[in-house]
């Protein structure tokens, strides 16, 4: 799968950061040097890498660390945000005209990039969305290209317009649009001819098609396996023909993935879809944020970081740590903390989002049930009792047990445990020490 080795390398870099309470400028520098190497090895273009690293560095050094994040997480967060930005931030949809007009999409790309396959995949997608597409066979050069389009068209249930191999691609394109009008099709895909390399005659033909019919969208198909070449090809096509969006194929293969990271920044054109296999259903919309978290190999740790940012206010965290230090933490605070965890989807979901932690989930489910019982017990107490459980007499404990649907022994156990941990907190005043402060850069 694409990005595997990049993800491995980045995870190693971050593993070293994660444990640290406070990062020095040197820590950040070393980490970013490794990130830089990893990106270059993944075939991301040098210029893009340089720009990327300097953006991350600028943001990482001297930035205040959110109380809810460790400095290591903070660096991951910044790297993630910059990756998303690099890939264009937003998901770009192919702009279509209203249903009662014909949208013409010209598909271009080098031979073997996956253009014909991708054209059929895309037509199938839009058909499923309620459009009425038509595939036009404008590749009259590659042996069997027309047949391939017909076979694929049939598989996705989209008709193919062809005039054989003895007509010019320009004429075929014009006739296809006329045919679409007659047949009530509102989306025409022109499957144009590619060459093995960028070549003048091919470019000229594409320019002529664009002059002859009104092309609404020009979509370039590039092969992710070709790495930097894919980016160069995209640049040439964009300069000569004008490209509205790019589809990156074969991202399921053993590609290093660099093309996905460079194309947007080098060409200024968005990646629209990615090809994830040879089957006609293997085409996925491109989400920069999801791709970034895949590249970082962080499971959903990033959404966890985001949640932490939203849900846990800094103030609350400070208040809580002070209470812990002074051993003033009581059942009311405990309830508060439980609510925070719940807001984040419960312990199970938190562990699920952390890479490598999902195996633990079996055990946590059990814990979560007992957490529910603990919560029921605490909720059955009055506010005063929560603040000072020593005022609980046997009859109150009975009532609480009944209210929570548990045995009174369990109430006793919870209260006792709580008193014990409070004692423990009092014995460890120095160890509950303050958390990090200051910037990442020291
Ligand atoms: P064209 O010359 O650009 O029209 O390329 P084709 O559509 O004929 O595709 C060339 C080869 O790449 C075919 O064997 C396709 O099945 C394969 N292919 C296309 N897209 C993908 C993809 O996303 N993943 C994989 N693994 N193979 C693909």
Q: Could you tell me if 221 and 113 are in contact, meaning their C-beta atoms sit under 8 angstroms apart?
A: yes
Exposed, middle or buried: residue 205 (CB in 10 Å: 0-12, 13-18, 19+)? Answer: buried
- Residue nearest (by alpha carbon) to ligand 1 atom 9: 114
175 C-alpha vs ligand 1 centroid, how far in Å?
Answer: 27
pLDDT reading at 426 higher than 80: no
Q: Is 219 helix (H, G, I), strand (E, B) or coil?
A: strand
What pLDDT, on the 0 to 100 scale, is given for residue 417? 81
**3-state DSSP helix/strand/coil % of the chain, to nearest 5:** 60, 10, 30
Domains of the chain, with CATH numbers? Answer: 4-90 (1.20.120.140), 103-286 (3.40.50.300), 312-432 (1.10.260.30)
Return the axis-axis angle of helices 331-343 and 346-353, rounded to nearest 10°. Answer: 50
pLDDT tens per residue across span 258-315 = 888 999 998 999 999 999 999 998 999 998 988 887 777 665 455 555 555 555 555 6
* pTM of the predicted model over 0.80: no
What pLDDT, on the 0 to 100 scale, is given for residue 80? 87
What pLDDT, on the 0 to 100 scale, is given for residue 336? 75
Q: Which of 107, 108, 117 to mutate to test the pocket of ligand 1 (most atoms within 8 A of CB)?
A: 117
Q: Could you tell me if 251 and 275 are in contact, meaning their C-beta atoms sit under 8 angstroms apart?
A: yes
191 is an annotated ligand-binding site residue: yes
Q: Could you tell me if 435 and 70 are in contact, meaning their C-beta atoms sit under 8 angstroms apart?
A: no
Task: State CA 14 to chain mean position distance.
Answer: 18
**Encoded tokens for 434:** 């303050």
What pLDDT, on the 0 to 100 scale, is given for residue 390? 85
110 is an annotated ligand-binding site residue: yes
pLDDT reading at 436 higher than 50: no
- Mean pLDDT of all residues belonging to the chain: 83
CA 406/CA 105 separation, integer angstroms: 66
pLDDT reading at 442 higher than 50: no
251 C-alpha vs ligand 1 centroid, how far in Å?
Answer: 11
pLDDT tens per residue across span 137-176 = 999 998 799 999 999 999 999 999 999 999 999 999 999 9
Task: Write out residues with Cβ below 6 Å of ligand 1.
Answer: 109, 111-118, 194, 249-250, 252-253, 275-278, 282
Q: Which of 194, 278, 282 to mutate to test the pocket of ligand 1 (most atoms within 8 A of CB)?
A: 278
């Amino acid at each position: 799968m694409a990005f595997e080795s990049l993800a491995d390398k980045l995870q190693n870099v971050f593993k070293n950061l994660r444990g640290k309470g406070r990062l020095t400028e040197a820590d950040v520098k070393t980490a970013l040097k490794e990130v830089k190497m990893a990106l270059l090895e993944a075939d991301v273009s040098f210029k893009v890498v340089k720009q990327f690293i300097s953006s991350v560095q600028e943001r990482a050094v001297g930035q205040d660390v959110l109380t809810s994040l460790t400095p290591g997480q903070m660096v991951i967060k910044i790297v993630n945000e910059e990756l998303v930005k690099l890939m264009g931030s937003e998901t770009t949809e192919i702009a279509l005209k209203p249903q009662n007009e014909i949208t013409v999409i010209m598909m271009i790309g080098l031979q073997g990039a996956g253009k014909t396959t991708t054209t059929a995949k895309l037509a199938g997608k839009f058909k499923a969305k309620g459009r009425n597409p038509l595939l036009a066979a404008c590749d009259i050069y590659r042996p069997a290209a027309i047949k391939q389009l017909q076979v694929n068209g049939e598989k996705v249930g989209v008709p193919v317009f062809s005039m054989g191999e003895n007509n010019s691609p320009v004429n075929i394109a014009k006739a296809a649009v006329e045919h679409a009008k007659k047949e009530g099709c509102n989306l025409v895909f022109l499957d144009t001819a590619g060459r093995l390399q960028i070549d003048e005659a091919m470019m000229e033909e594409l320019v002529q098609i664009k002059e002859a019919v009104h092309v609404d969208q020009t979509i370039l198909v590039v092969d992710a396996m070709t790495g930097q070449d894919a980016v160069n090809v995209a640049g040439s096509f964009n300069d000569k023909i004008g490209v509205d969006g790019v589809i990156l194929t074969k991202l399921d293969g053993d590609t290093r993935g660099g093309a996905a990271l460079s194309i947007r920044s080098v060409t200024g054109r968005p990646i629209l879809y990615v090809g994830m296999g040879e089957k006609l259903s293997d085409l996925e919309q491109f989400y920069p944020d999801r791709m970034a978290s895949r590249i970082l190999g962080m499971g959903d740790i990033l959404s966890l970081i985001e949640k932490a940012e939203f849900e846990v206010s800094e103030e609350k965290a400070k208040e809580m740590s002070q209470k812990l230090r002074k051993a003033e933490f009581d059942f009311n605070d405990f309830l508060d903390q439980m609510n925070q965890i719940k807001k984040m989807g419960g312990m199970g979901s938190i562990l699920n989002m952390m890479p490598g932690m999902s195996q633990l989930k079996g055990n946590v489910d059990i814990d979560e049930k007992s957490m529910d019982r603990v919560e029921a017990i605490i909720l059955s107490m009055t506010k005063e009792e929560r603040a000072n459980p020593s005022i609980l007499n046997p009859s109150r404990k009975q009532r609480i047990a009944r209210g929570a649907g548990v045995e009174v022994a369990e109430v006793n156990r919870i209260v006792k445990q709580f008193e014990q941990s409070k004692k423990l907190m009092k014995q460890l005043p120095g160890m509950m020490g303050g958390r990090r402060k200051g910037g990442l850069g020291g």
